[in-house]
């Protein structure tokens, strides 16, 4: 039996599934929060063992709880070297997101994910040369700069979010990352407008469409990150912000 599966079974009840079945169905999304790296599970296939885990109330497992031989846990999470992400990304009263705070938060989140050290085939075009957390965070920061200018969305009287003036009226895209409720773990309007939660969603998109599937950031037939972001399908829209990043964000990084 696999000790990792036995550990999960002890949390959620029942007997552990056969080793091969459990390993093949696990689909993790990794984030770093506060002082410990937490685990969020994306929706698994219906009727599967993992669906029961997702149905449990708030499954959050600290890195200290993972067995040392849990091979499907990123090394930085398993050995405790992943840096802690700030609890909140800094914003001001006008709804502007501090780009340096967002960058640092994303570096910590990437360090605790499978993107850490991963270089897509076309990574160099987008500044991903070594797969370092700073490189991925830079790309995500430029995407957010293009999608929203590092701004939060204003709210309607019913609590929903207003579209930015630059958003196509027929698109259901909101907030700093231009996501919608129900996408990539964003369950509420607060999530869609929360820069830290949007950061988790960005990593989820990259892990699903780049790391697990396409192996590229901008693939044919709108694959890779281009599966979600038009600003990646038209890469100059994102890459035009490289000088902005170098002058606005990089000087404040250690």
Residues 23-43: tens digit of each pLDDT: 333 333 333 332 233 344 344
- pTM recorded for the entire structure: 0.71
d(CA 138, CA 126): 9
Three-class DSSP category at 179: strand
pLDDT tens digits for range 206-222: 999 999 999 999 999 99
Q: Which residues of the chain have pLDDT under 50?
A: 1, 4, 7-8, 10-44, 49-50, 52-72
| Nearest one of 164, 33, 143 to 95, comparing CA atoms | 164
Residue 75 confidence (pLDDT): 57
Residue 35 confidence (pLDDT): 28
Strand extents, DSSP E, the chain = 28-33, 36-41, 218-219, 223-224
Residue 88 confidence (pLDDT): 84
Q: What angle do CA 125, 174, 191 make, to 5 degrees?
A: 95
The strand pairing partners of 112, in sequence order, are none
Residue 235 confidence (pLDDT): 96
Residue 87 confidence (pLDDT): 63
């Amino acid at each position: 039996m696999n000790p990792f599966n036995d550990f999960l079974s002890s949390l959620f009840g029942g007997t552990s599934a056969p080793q091969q079945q459990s390993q093949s169905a696990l689909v993790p999304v990794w984030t770093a929060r506060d002082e410990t790296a937490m685990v969020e599970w994306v929706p698994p296939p219906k009727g599967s063992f993992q669906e029961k885990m997702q149905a449990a109330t708030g499954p959050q497992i600290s890195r200290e709880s993972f067995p040392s031989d849990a091979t499907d846990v990123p090394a930085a999470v398993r050995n405790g070297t992943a840096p802690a992400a700030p609890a909140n990304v800094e914003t001001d009263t006008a709804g502007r997101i501090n780009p340096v705070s967002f960058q640092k938060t994303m570096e910590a989140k990437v360090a605790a994910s499978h993107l850490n050290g991963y270089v897509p085939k076309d990574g160099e075009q987008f500044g991903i040369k070594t797969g370092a957390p700073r490189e991925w965070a830079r790309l995500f920061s430029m995407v957010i700069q293009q999608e929203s200018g590092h701004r939060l969305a204003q709210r309607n009287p019913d609590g929903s979010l207003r579209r930015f003036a630059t958003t196509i009226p027929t698109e259901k895209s909101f907030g700093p990352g231009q996501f919608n409720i129900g996408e990539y773990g964003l369950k509420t309007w607060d999530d869609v407008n929360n820069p830290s939660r949007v950061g988790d969603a960005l990593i989820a998109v990259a892990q699903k469409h780049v790391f697990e599937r396409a192996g590229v950031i901008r693939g044919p037939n709108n694959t890779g990150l281009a599966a979600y972001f038009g600003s990646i399908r038209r890469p100059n829209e994102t890459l035009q912000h490289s000088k902005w990043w170098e002058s606005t964000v990089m000087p404040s990084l250690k």
